[in-house]
Amino acid sequence: MNAQEKLDRGLLRVDEAECKGCGLCIEACPPKVIGLSEGLNHYGYRTAVYAGRGCTGCGICFLACPEPGALTVYRAVLKRPVAVDRTLGGQSAGGGMACASN
């Protein structure tokens, strides 16, 4: 795993309709990959915006956010290769994303 892959273990989605722009997630994020939007949402708040790269999937922003449903953190789940069981039609190795949301 190279350095960039290590930094892209997570993904952040912001629901602009739920965000109140308090900035707690921005302060809490260790790699500082969250900023504030230039535009306003329908409540007149500048909302949190994910930079698009660098999320580690730590979930700290999710825990810091006081607004239920404003943030969803996806965390990459790397699965170890598994042996193929031909009697059951075989299985393959793969990965996926886990999700934390309010």
* Chain positions contacting ligand SF4, by CB under 6 A: 10, 12, 14, 19-25, 28-31, 33-34, 47-48, 55-61, 64-65, 67, 70-71, 73
- Closest CB 92 distance from ligand SF4, rounded Å: 28
Q: Dihedral of the CA atoms 13, 15, 18, 20 (nearest 10)?
A: 70
Give all strands of the β-sheet with 10-14 in edge-to-edge order.
Answer: 10-14, 71-78, 95-101
- Closest CB 2 distance from ligand SF4, rounded Å: 18
Nearer to ligand SF4, 93 or 97 (CB): 97
- The H or E element that residue 48 is part of is strand 46-50
Contact 60, 101 (CB under 8 A): no
- Closest CB 88 distance from ligand SF4, rounded Å: 36
Nearer to ligand SF4, 28 or 76 (CB): 28
